[in-house]
A and B are shown apart, each in its own frame.
Chain A
Amino acid sequence: MSGPTLVVLAVGALVASSCAIVGTFLVLRRMALLGDAISHAVLPGIALAFMMTGSRAALPMVVGAGALGVVTVFLVEALHRSRRLKEDASIGVVFPALFAIGVILVSRYTSQVDLDIDCVLYGEIAYAPLDTISAFGRNLGPKALWVTGATLLVDLALVLLLYKELKMTSFDPALAAALGFSPVLVHYALMSAVSVTVVGAFESVGAILVVAMLVVPPAAAYLLVERLSAMIALAVGLGIAATGLGYAFARALDASIAGGIASAAGAIFVAAWIASPRHGVIVRVARNRALARRLDGELLLLHLKDRAAALPLDAVRRRFGWTGKKVGRVVAELESERLVTQDNGGLAITPEGARSLETAGTAPLAHSG
């Protein structure tokens, strides 16, 4: 693998990892769309940083983005709290307005230089190896590596320092508040980290595809594991996998690498969605089918239990409105478990069958539904 390719993959992996770490919490807190909003709303912050420093230096942009991230969250909350707007509407009015301001700033005040919208929106990771920075008279290597590496460190620091706070406020904010943690502070800390991550990723995958890295691998991980730490780790792994696969895919088609990575992430999600051993569609369908069969069997047993005489198969068919085939299947299954017996008169329940009903779905519910 060539040097430039390595750099591209490294940058991609770093972006995927940082996004996966904060994105996991966004998904769990049902704030995926707030993350999407932030990824667009930071534009004026970047533009302002550029206008004020006259350069595309990373640090001012990160600061500008972080500030805008906080502003976005604040505005959305303020609108929602005023009770004049619901939460989704609050998000939907705030981020376009901020993005519009950003676009106008860029168009009017930076049209001479190359901070252009296309790049911000869908970046181009392929240029990463070429865009190097130098300091102290030496070439330190690709700027993107430094920037994305730094954002990963920031995100790791956040999660390590505030792990239990994040965990608690994600699952039970009321309890967290009662215990003296401040859900609000944690919320703003997380959103600031998201803003920083987003701007760090702009250079490589652009604003719109950052959302893919923030949401899709964590969502896939959500369907595969049960514990938070595992979910974060798996999200990072899946994000890196998406980077590799997407890169290969894009090179093969000679198409946008960022787009390829997002598509690969989507494919990974679909695979998890369908095939997840615990939550996947296949497993669900099979489970529902098994349940339906169990219900049918229990219903039949119930009716047999109340009867004194045997029930002919024909009567079963008429009573339940089942097809002959279905009757045969249900009876066969019950017979195989020795819950019913069959003779000339028809079906009758066995003692085991009667016992099985006691533990079946016929027990009254003790909890609220």
Chain B
Amino acid sequence: MNPTHAAEQPARETPGPAIEPTEAPPALEVHDLTVAYRTQPVLWDVDVALPAGRLTAVVGPNGAGKSTLLKAVLGLVKPTTGWVKVFGAPYAEKRSWVGYVPQRESVDWDFPTSALDVVTMGLYGQVGWFRRPSRTHVATALECLDKLGIKDLAGRQISQLSGGQQQRVFLARALAQDARLYLMDEPFAGVDATTERAIFALLKELRREGRTVVAVHHDLPTVPEYFDSVVLLNMRLVASGPVATTFTQENLQQTYGGRLTTLSQAAEALLHRRPVDKK
């Protein structure tokens, strides 16, 4: 698939992601993806292939289609054109290989359920229709809470958790899914410093186990610190590849359309060990 792609698109502005010389299909492959809601295109002709075992950040301004990209992978929105493949197959076939961590705001935290209960939901796929989660399932869920350092919050009702704790519950749920590819929507948003470190530690652990993480990320300065690769999205794909070569001032400017804020300039400076240019 990729060689044909390369031959037909000789004039791509950015080199494609470095494909490793293995036989394994990329963890995530998006081809010519266009998604339009009502009267607005949200994603436009996006082409990206992400190899397995990496931590990839998806960045771009508001409304750039980042969440939509994740939802398109999960089959939650229908593409106008194009397709998505996960480990070389359609998502529906590889469902158990993919774990999803939605945005924290997507859920009503006043719901009568405990942290442990939420994590157990991650195992429902294994529990199957009509059956109750078994004791083993609950034990697994407890373990996952432990890995995120919040085992003692298991019985707590979720509205009584802080933002960082809620995020950890979501991540524990993802862990319970034991997936090979994790799609995360703003996992670092609105969490305290301790939780941020815990999340990063988790990501490193996942990578060590050979799993793949694709995370929509809002905080530019931390992209080089936390992630190996980056996908720059503004409705169209601006660039995709390893952070070192892709997370450049030029690409960022193109993504964010106009002068970069001080923050992103600082991020770039950090990456390339240069003083900030006062442009």
Interface residues of A (CB under 8 A from B): 287-288, 291-292, 295-296, 299, 302, 306-308, 315, 319-321, 361-362, 364-369
A291/B36 contact (C-beta < 8 A), A364-B235, A367-B63 known: yes
Min distance, Cβ B41 to any Cβ of chain A, angstroms:
4
Q: Judge whether B255 is part of the interface by a CB distance below 8 angstroms.
A: yes
Contacts of A302 in B (CB 8 A): 45
Q: Given contacts A291-B39, A299-B81, could you give 8 more A-B pairs where the C-beta distance is less than 8 Å? A: A295-B80, A299-B34, A306-B12, A307-B11, A361-B41, A361-B44, A364-B61, A368-B63
Say yes or no: A369 contacts B81, CB within 8 Å.
no
Contact of A321 among B38, B62, B81 (CB under 8 A): B81
Say yes or no: B64 contacts A362, CB within 8 Å.
no
Say yes or no: A366 contacts B39, CB within 8 Å.
no
A365/B32 contact (C-beta < 8 A), A288-B39, A307-B8 known: no
A292/B255 contact (C-beta < 8 A), A302-B45, A369-B42 known: no
A364/B10 contact (C-beta < 8 A), A288-B39, A295-B41 known: no
Q: Judge whether B128 is part of the interface by a CB distance below 8 angstroms.
A: no
Q: Judge whether B236 is part of the interface by a CB distance below 8 angstroms.
A: yes
A18 to B62, CA, bound (A): 44
Interface size class of B (residues with CB under 8 A): 20 to 34
**Interface mask (B31-51 → A, CB under 8 Å = 1, otherwise 0):** 010101011111011000000
Contacts of B261 in A (CB 8 A): none
Q: Judge whether B21 is part of the interface by a CB distance below 8 angstroms.
A: no
Say yes or no: B39 contacts A364, CB within 8 Å.
no
Would you give 18 A-B contacts (Cβ < 8 Å), ordered by A? Answer: A295-B41, A296-B81, A299-B32, A299-B34, A306-B9, A306-B10, A306-B12, A307-B8, A320-B81, A361-B41, A361-B44, A361-B235, A364-B254, A365-B61, A368-B62, A368-B63, A369-B40, A369-B64
A145 to B40, CA, bound (A): 51
Contact of B44 among A362, A366, A367 (CB under 8 A): A362
Interface residues of B (CB under 8 A from A): 8-12, 32, 34, 36, 38-42, 44-45, 61-65, 80-81, 234-236, 254-255, 257
A319 to B45, CA, bound (A): 12
Say yes or no: B61 contacts A368, CB within 8 Å.
yes
Say yes or no: B34 contacts A364, CB within 8 Å.
no
Min distance, Cβ B39 to any Cβ of chain A, angstroms:
6
Say yes or no: B63 contacts A365, CB within 8 Å.
yes
Min distance, Cβ A362 to any Cβ of chain B, angstroms:
6
A292 to B81, CA, bound (A): 10
Say yes or no: B12 contacts A369, CB within 8 Å.
no
Closest A residue by C-beta to B31: A319
Which 9 residue pairs spanning A and B have beta carbons closest together? Answer: A369-B63, A368-B62, A364-B234, A361-B41, A364-B257, A306-B11, A365-B63, A368-B63, A291-B39
A362 to B38, CA, bound (A): 17
B34, B38, B40, B257 pick with most chain A CB within 10 angstroms: B34
Say yes or no: A366 contacts B45, CB within 8 Å.
no
Min distance, Cβ B203 to any Cβ of chain A, angstroms:
27
Contact of B32 among A292, A315, A320, A367 (CB under 8 A): A320
